[in-house]
Amino acid sequence: MVGMSVVRSAAAFAARLNPLKYGNNVSRLLTRTIPKTEQVAVRWGHGKELFVVKPSSYYDNRFLRLLKYYLLLTGIPVAAIITYVNVFIGEAELAEIPEGYEPEYWEYYKHPITRFISRNIYDTPVKDYEKMMAAVQIEQEKAEHRLANLEVRRQMRQRGDGPWYQKQAVDKSFIDHSPKASPDN
Amino acid sequence: MAGRDFDKDVYPEPPRRTPADNKQTGLPNPALIASKLFYYSVDLPVTKFRECIDSIQSGKKSVYYHQRFRRVPDLTECEEGNYVCYYEAEMQWRRDYKVDQEIVRVLQERIRACQQREGASAPQNCSKEVQDYDNATKAYMSRYGDLGAYASGRKCLMKQKERMINAQKA
């Protein structure tokens, strides 16, 4: 690796001092003056404008730009809405349930956005509860039916007096009774 | 938790018993300076902001209520195999679990408030709150103690059965 960099720097040196290049006469080589960087541009202060060699920051900046854009695209409206609701509408206060009044299911929450979501988006928790109970009851009936089915199969197979586990026999008119007519045949 | 809504008549703050000032030096009191600094830099702006917001919001207040649930038959009162009854008992047990957690939290809050009020004389004056909290946590641990994250009414019932068996053995 070091050997490679030495070769590379040697090649660069050779390229720079290539005698075939313009301005590299033997006569000029020893007497030419290298221009100083401070003396090049005229009178605007901080020296020559340099081309600083560094990796491209375009992709990084593009990423940050897009990140800020997409975050603020929904972030600013959401923050504005939440600020408006908290400043101008305000949270509810706790109160005793008046006599004979059944509060709506959204009136059990404090923050107005929670109340809004509960009122417009979610179902009433009573409905969710009843749905769950209905699902539990259906599964319970299925389980009971399966157990009853097994018991009925067992009983019918054992006793033989039910409609299941019957085997169709041949009709008795097909039986040939003629060998049985004479006993000592 | 900040800003808890509770009835100020039910959980009243006790009357202040701060003794009168008995200054014996001529130097300014740094605690007084610090408290005045805090008041003018933090307390006053925050209070003014709150009053400003309240004046914007005045009059349009809505209310919210504390939901009360009907008592349903317990897990011990359900017939075997009646899974709907099991479900309702389980939901009731979970609500009671949450209520018990909040009770313990309120007692903790009381101890903290008492400690803050009394300051250096807390070990002497807060003994009642500490006693209440000890009783409550003992009861809570014996009932809900090591049930874990997947606690359920059945597991709690089995734990109670174990407790009763051990109590009978002893």
Q: Which pLDDT tens digit goes with each residue over B51-80?
A: 999 888 887 788 999 999 999 999 999 999
Q: Which of A23-32, A103-112, B70-79, B93-102 has the lowest mean pLDDT?
A: A23-32
Give the number of other CB atoms < 10 A from CB of residue B101: 12
Question: What is the C-alpha to C-alpha distance for residues B154 and B74, in angstroms, rounded to an integer?
Answer: 11
State the complex-level ipTM: 0.73
Distance from CA of A141 to the nearest CA of B (A): 10
Q: Name the pLDDT band for A2 (thresholds 50, 70, 90).
A: low
More confident residue, A43 or B151: B151
Residue B49, pLDDT > 80, answer yes
Are the beta carbons of B144 and B157 closer than 8 angstroms?
A: no
Q: Is B90 on the interface with A (CB under 8 A)?
A: no
Residue B129, pLDDT > 50, answer yes
Question: What is the C-alpha to C-alpha distance for residues A113 and A120, in angstroms, rounded to an integer?
Answer: 10
Residue B1, pLDDT > 50, answer no
Residue A41, pLDDT > 60, answer no
Residue A32, pLDDT > 90, answer no
Residue B156, pLDDT > 80, answer yes
Residue A174, pLDDT > 80, answer yes
pLDDT of residue B5: 60
Interface probe for A, chosen from B49, B64, B87 (most Cβ of A below 10 Å), is B64
Q: Which of A126, A73, A81 is nearest to A102 (CA)?
A: A126
For chain A, the average pLDDT equals 87
DSSP-based helix, strand, coil % in chain A, nearest 5: 60, 0, 40
Residue of chain B whose Cα is closest to the Cα of A87:
B53
What integer is the mean pLDDT of A49-56? 92
Are the beta carbons of A97 and B69 closer than 8 angstroms?
A: no
Q: What is the pTM of this model?
A: 0.70
Contacts of B57 in chain A (CB under 8 A): 87-90
Question: What is the C-alpha to C-alpha distance for residues B63 and A98, in angstroms, rounded to an integer?
Answer: 11
- The residues with which B64 forms a beta bridge, in sequence order, are A94
Residue A3, pLDDT > 70, answer no
What integer is the mean pLDDT of B3-17? 74
pLDDT of residue A46: 81
pLDDT of residue A1: 53
pLDDT of residue B77: 93
More confident residue, A101 or A179: A101
- The values of phi and psi at residue B63, to 5°, are -120, 155
Question: What is the C-alpha to C-alpha distance for residues B161 and B170, in angstroms, rounded to an integer?
Answer: 14
Contacts of A89 in chain B (CB under 8 A): 57, 60
pLDDT of residue B12: 79
Distance from CA of B111 to the nearest CA of A (A): 24
A62-76, A78-92, B102-116: range with highest mean pLDDT: A62-76
| CA angle (A7, A12, A13) in 5-degree steps | 95
Does the beta-carbon distance from B65 to A107 stay under 8 Å? yes
pLDDT of residue B21: 79
Q: Is B70 on the interface with A (CB under 8 A)?
A: no
pLDDT of residue B44: 93
Helical residues (DSSP H) of chain A, grouped into ranges = 2-16, 26-31, 58-84, 112-120, 125-159
| CA angle (B68, B70, B73) in 5-degree steps | 145
A43-57, A89-103, A139-153: range with highest mean pLDDT: A139-153
Interface probe for A, chosen from B4, B62, B90 (most Cβ of A below 10 Å), is B62
What integer is the mean pLDDT of A117-126? 96
Residue of chain A whose Cα is closest to the Cα of B82:
A140
What integer is the mean pLDDT of A51-63? 95
Does the beta-carbon distance from A129 to B84 stay under 8 Å? no
What integer is the mean pLDDT of A2-30? 72
pLDDT of residue A35: 60
pLDDT of residue B119: 85
Does the beta-carbon distance from A140 to B64 stay under 8 Å? no
What integer is the mean pLDDT of A108-137? 96
pLDDT of residue A36: 63
Structure tokens at A64: 């940050």
Q: Is B52 on the interface with A (CB under 8 A)?
A: no
A31-40, A88-97, B158-167: range with highest mean pLDDT: B158-167
Does the beta-carbon distance from A89 to B60 stay under 8 Å? yes
Q: Name the pLDDT band for A39 (thresholds 50, 70, 90).
A: low
Q: Name the pLDDT band for A47 (thresholds 50, 70, 90).
A: confident
